[in-house]
């Protein structure tokens, strides 16, 4: 069967060379006579994999030595609770910027453990922009400041990071990690579900500054304490071994391409191609304020719901799949993560041009 162009927001497209390598090694990984899925996570064979994965990620993101890299489970959604459980260590206050569904869920979890100050929100126009931040509304004694770096559902991103001074900046980077250069030192903690730009679902990456570890609330469950995982090298329990292995292959692939600076240029080219078409179309319309447009997730609509459904159906028939927008907003959304080739975006634009002529 011919492979389709998969515009899913996650789990999402993976690099073809990575899939082929994983397929080749599925029964016999690196000459060990067994699959990675069969290896003991405490064996030397798997230790080599997780150590290479961490080494490559540190290189790709220029992660300093005073940050720990953790390979966890539970998705970004578990991080919504882990962050306050571990970082509410002084005033039990935190500042949050509300830019969509995922930040709202993060706020909801944090409120269970402390006080949350919403410093800004874009809910007034269905989150189609990043709100301006007024530093006078920041809490001077907050334990941390939380943003969602890229908003998968709405197609917005922070192009400028807030200056939070000595207060740790925390971010959910699930849908933009490794897509462009972000200085890790600007953050106290970065977390990301893997299933968009890193690998299969089941793995969550946490990059945390060491001074933020070891201050968890007394009632924090052992598995939700960053110190547990930092002290055990992400081996306190069985980690998602196959997902870590595939992530390692993705990191190798990205390094071979020239790293994050090179993929950022490529991502800008892909996004520009699609946004340029939307800006000049008489039928299709992008939904995001231009200055806040995501490089990863591009939402757009047609004049009627009937046309939206027709477009999604006919696009799928043409091998352009998973273009339906999130159920909460409707319309269409093209997720063009690192592994989406330029050819896929060109094919989408050609199909949109054809659809526009016919409708």
- Contacts of residue 112, defined as CB under 8 A and 6 or more positions apart, other chains included, come to 81, 84
Catalytic site includes residue 102: yes
Catalytic site includes residue 285: no
**DSSP assignment of 220-272:** --GGG-HHHHHHTTT-SS---HHHHHHHHHHHHHHHHHT-HHHHHHHHHHHHH
From the list 93, 95, 143, 172, the catalytic residue is 172
Catalytic site includes residue 270: no
From the list 102, 253, 270, 292, the catalytic residue is 102
The DSSP bridge partners found for residue 118 are 96
HSE of 91, CA atoms in CB hemisphere, 13 A: 14
From the list 68, 93, 196, 270, the catalytic residue is 196
Query: What are the contacts of 119-127 at 24+ separation with CB within 8 A?
Result: 119/95, 119/145, 121/97, 122/98, 122/156, 123/98, 126/154, 126/329, 127/99, 127/100, 127/151, 127/153, 127/154, 127/156
Active site residues: 102, 172, 196
């Amino acid at each position: 069967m011919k492979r389709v162009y998969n515009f899913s927001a996650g789990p999402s497209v993976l690099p073809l060379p990575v899939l082929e390598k994983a397929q080749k090694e599925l029964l016999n990984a690196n000459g060990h006579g067994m699959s990675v899925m069969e290896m003991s996570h405490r064996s030397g064979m798997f230790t080599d994999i997780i150590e290479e994965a961490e080494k490559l990620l540190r290189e790709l993101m220029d992660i300093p030595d005073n940050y720990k890299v953790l390979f966890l489970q539970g998705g970004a959604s578990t991080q919504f609770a882990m962050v306050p459980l571990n970082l509410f260590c002084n005033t039990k206050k935190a500042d949050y910027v509300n830019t969509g569904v995922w930040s709202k869920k993060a706020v909801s979890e944090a409120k269970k453990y402390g006080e949350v100050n919403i410093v800004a929100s874009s809910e007034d126009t269905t989150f189609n922009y990043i709100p301006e931040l007024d530093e006078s509304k920041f809490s001077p004694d907050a334990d941390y400041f939380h943003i969602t770096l890229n908003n998968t559902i709405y197609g917005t991103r922070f192009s400028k990071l807030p200056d939070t001074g000595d207060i740790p900046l925390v971010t959910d980077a699930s849908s933009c990690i490794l897509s462009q250069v972000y200085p890790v030192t600007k953050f106290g903690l970065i977390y990301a579900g893997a299933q968009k730009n890193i690998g299969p679902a089941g793995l969550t990456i946490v990059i945390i500054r060491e001074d933020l570890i070891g201050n968890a609330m007394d009632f924090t469950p052992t598995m939700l304490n960053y110190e547990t995982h930092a002290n055990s090298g992400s081996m306190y329990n069985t980690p998602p071994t196959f997902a870590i292995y595939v992530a390692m292959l993705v990191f190798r692939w990205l390094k071979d391409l020239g790293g994050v600076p090179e993929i950022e240029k490529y991502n800008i080219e892909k996004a520009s191609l699609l946004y340029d078409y939307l800006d000049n179309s008489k039928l299709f319309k992008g939904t995001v304020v231009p200055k806040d447009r995501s490089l990863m997730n591009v939402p757009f609509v047609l004049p009627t719901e009937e046309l939206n459904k027709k477009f999604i159906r006919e696009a799928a028939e043409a091998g352009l799949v998973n273009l339906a927008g999130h159920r909460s907003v409707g319309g269409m959304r093209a997720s063009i993560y690192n592994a989406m080739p330029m050819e896929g975006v060109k094919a989408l634009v050609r199909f949109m041009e054809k659809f526009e002529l016919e409708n």
